[in-house]
Amino acid sequence: MITIKEAVTKKQIKAFVKFPFTIYKDSKYWVPPIIKQELETFNKDKNPIFKDAEAHFLLAYKDNVIVGRVAAIINHLEINNQNIKKMRFGWFDFIDDLNVSKALLAEVEKIGRDKNLEYTEGPVGFSNLDKVGVLTEGFDSLGLMVSWYNHPYYVKHYEAHGYVIEKEYSESRFPFSNVDPETFKKAQALIKRRYQLTALKFTKTNEVMPYADRMFDLFNTTYASLSSFVEITDIQKAYFKKKFISFVNPEYIKFVIDKNDNLVAFAIVMPRFAEAIQKTKGKLFPFGFKHILRAKKNSKDVIFYLIGVHPDYQNKGVHAVIFNEYYDIFKSKDVQTCYRTAELEDNEAIKKIWKHFSPEVYKRRKTYRKNLN
């Protein structure tokens, strides 16, 4: 018999966070979360997302042993401002037992009906800066710090319980050797002169901070047209600055401004921390920090985490300015491979940005939905 209980105490929330460590303990490709960070994500006193969202952290038990988990999420900004009556769910992990996944999803669906929502979708997080999608291809490739990994059997569980594909995503990579600077060197110089643009360079994290809020504003503007988008509120900006920017080499953050100091484009690239985080086993202390700091300094692989251009400057070649700024840095650091995070399959604009680098799609993932009426 499967029993579902909501995790509410600190001990139960920690059990929720640590459950995947049991089902992926023998996986070469799973990258664990940093336990401390994950606990803070779910802490209603520390994560400002809970001012506009609520979550129920559900654990499945079989013979008094945890065999599955799911976070049932309600984003009130999405529901009230966009009139999207969606019951989100994420952090969905389970043993290969259809009864377990069914019981967890049934509870998610019940919460959604009780809230008068129209459908469920997952796996997704609270916002666009969270992980997204169940992995459907690429199980034999190492995961990323910023994406979920899962066993191949997950997909059959969604399908068995009447879920259908909602959105499709792909992740790609390309060797840095594919990058020919001639594709953007001359163009970027012309574009900077024509539109009076300047690319900013940073060497210290505190130099980035005065522009960080403007970056999140531009992120909201740039991504507003995507079907899955939920804006980042002012109170969330400080939280994300603390959570993300400290992990990024300052020279990997690029801003482009116009003559009036208005931010018109940004990009954030991160070192690929996957191997380092595997070594931490989810703990920063006593030695985990050393692995991460070593990767931050020496990683030969990088991840294009976010890139955005103001709508007024899209299709004007501003990406050439950004690529030019990264080229010399990557060359000096002997970067070998560039990775891209999950991007919607129907986002043709983003595909055009990368086409000159001949990227290889090496992973695919999907979200699934089910109507609640």
Nearest partner of 289 among 36, 16, 26, 47, judged by Cα: 36
233-268 tens-digit pLDDT: 888 888 888 777 877 899 999 999 999 999 999 999
Residue 230 · residue 78 · CB < 8 Å: yes
> How far apart, in whole angstroms, are the C-alpha atoms of residue 321 and residue 327?
10
Look at the domain 2-171 and name its fold.
Aminopeptidase (3.40.630)
User: Helix 318-332 and helix 185-195: axis angle, to 10°?
Assistant: 130
Tokens of 322: 């950004």
Q: What is the pLDDT of residues 315-356, one digit of tens each?
A: 899 999 999 999 999 999 999 999 999 999 988 888 888 988
What pLDDT is recorded for position 238?
81
Class of domain 175-363: alpha beta
Phi, psi of 308 (to 5 degrees): -150, 145
Which distant-in-sequence residues (6+ apart) come within 8 Å of 315 by Cβ? none
Query: What average pLDDT values come out for the chain (373 residues) when binned by 10 residues?
Result: 97 98 96 94 93 96 97 94 94 98 98 97 90 97 92 98 97 96 94 96 90 90 77 83 80 95 94 91 83 89 92 92 95 96 87 90 98 94
8 Å CB contact between 119 and 6: no
Omega of the bond leading into 123 within 30 degrees of 0 (cis):
yes
Angle between helices 234-244 and 205-223 (to 10 degrees): 130
| CATH 3.40.630.30 domain range(s) in the chain | 2-171, 175-363
Q: Which two tokens stand for residue 203?
A: 């060497």
DSSP string, 317-361: THHHHHHHHHHHHHHHTT--EEEE--EETT-HHHHHHHGGG--EE
A 10 A CB-CB count for 225 gives 9
Could you tell me where the DSSP H helices lie in the chain? 10-18, 20-23, 35-41, 76, 98-114, 154-160, 185-195, 205-223, 234-244, 274-280, 288-298, 318-332, 348-354
SS3 of 290-319: HHHHHHHHHCCEEEEEEEEECHHHCCCCHH
| Tokens of residue 275, six digits | 């191997």
Contact 350, 170 (CB under 8 A): no
Q: What are phi and psi of 354, to 5 degrees?
A: -100, -5
